[in-house]
């Protein structure tokens, strides 16, 4: 199977300057590669990409992506959060043990955008804000309960965004290049607050971009899926 095309889009300030950036880059790129491979394989088997649907359907693919890069993931890990309304019990989407001495607590969101949008929609901004607030609110008590020893702990907010093109006729579908995808994703991420530390984009191969879905009287295609990540850590505990 042909390897998926994953591009890393530069962020400002450069994420490579942050502590732990090497391990995070390896983990996130591996996750995105497996995410792409699993989506392609499932599309071949059942005629639809999981990323076409909601966060709920896609979480199983994200979980499997972690497994495939030799991590030990745990979904819906129980934690406590402290917010303005007080402390409450809850769950973090993923607890992931990676490369022997790293643990990631991950809040995950999935949404969508038209490819030619000028900026991220209100829905994307809200999902991004919620994921970051939820992961930042995890209490120190929850971390102490994990008995991490000398393990490095990171908190991550992850959001995947499906990019869509809509056409009136199937013959109008046009594949986009890596450069076009990178430029558009950069533009869409410009109004995210806070800024992502990592942006990675899976640009689908030309033949996959030209596969169309018909919905009512229009045709849809998917040129790319991008991943935004906000990170915090290693955290002292």
Q: Is residue 183 part of a domain?
A: yes
| pLDDT for position 71 | 86
Dist. CA 40–CA 46, nearest whole Å:
10
Give residue-wise pLDDT tens across range 184-215. 999 999 999 999 999 999 999 999 998 878 88
Give residue-wise pLDDT tens across range 35-49. 999 999 999 999 899
| pLDDT for position 115 | 95
Give residue-wise pLDDT tens across range 57-116. 899 999 999 999 988 999 999 999 988 777 888 999 999 999 888 999 999 999 999 999
125 pLDDT band, cuts 50/70/90, is: very high
Q: Does pLDDT of 23 surpass 70?
A: yes
3-state secondary structure of 168: coil
- Helices and strands: H and E segment counts in the chain: 6, 8
Q: What is the mean pLDDT of residues 123-129?
A: 97
pTM: 0.92
Domain that holds residue 125: 5-232
Instruction: Calculate ∠ Cα 114-119-124, nearest 5°.
Output: 75
State how many domains the chain has.
Answer: 1
Q: Is residue 208 part of a domain?
A: yes
Count CB-CB contacts under 10 A for residue 20: 15
| pLDDT for position 18 | 64
Percent of the chain scoring above 90 in pLDDT: 67
Q: Is residue 237 part of a domain?
A: no
């Amino acid at each position: 199977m042909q390897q998926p095309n994953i591009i890393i889009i530069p962020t400002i300030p450069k994420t490579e300057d942050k502590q732990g950036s090497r391990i995070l880059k390896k983990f996130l790129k591996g996750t995105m590669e497996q995410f792409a491979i699993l989506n392609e394989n499932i599309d071949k088997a059942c005629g639809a990409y999981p990323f076409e649907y909601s966060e709920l359907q896609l979480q199983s693919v994200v979980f499997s992506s972690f497994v495939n890069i030799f991590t030990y993931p745990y979904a819906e890990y129980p934690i406590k959060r402290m917010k303005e309304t007080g402390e409450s019990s809850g769950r973090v989407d993923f607890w992931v043990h990676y490369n022997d001495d790293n643990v990631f607590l991950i809040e995950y969101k999935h949404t969508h955008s038209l490819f030619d949008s000028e900026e991220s929609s209100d829905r994307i901004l809200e999902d991004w804000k919620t994921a970051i607030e939820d992961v930042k609110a995890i209490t120190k008590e929850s971390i102490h309960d994990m008995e991490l020893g000398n393990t490095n702990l990171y908190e991550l907010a992850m959001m995947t965004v499906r990019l869509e093109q809509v056409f009136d006729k199937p013959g109008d579908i046009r594949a986009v290049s890596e450069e076009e995808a990178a430029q558009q994703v950069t533009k869409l991420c410009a109004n995210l607050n806070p800024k992502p530390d990592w942006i990675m984009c899976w640009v689908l191969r030309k033949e996959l971009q030209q596969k169309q879905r018909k919905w009512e009287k229009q045709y849809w295609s998917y040129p790319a899926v991008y991943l935004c990540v906000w990170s915090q850590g290693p955290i002292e505990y």
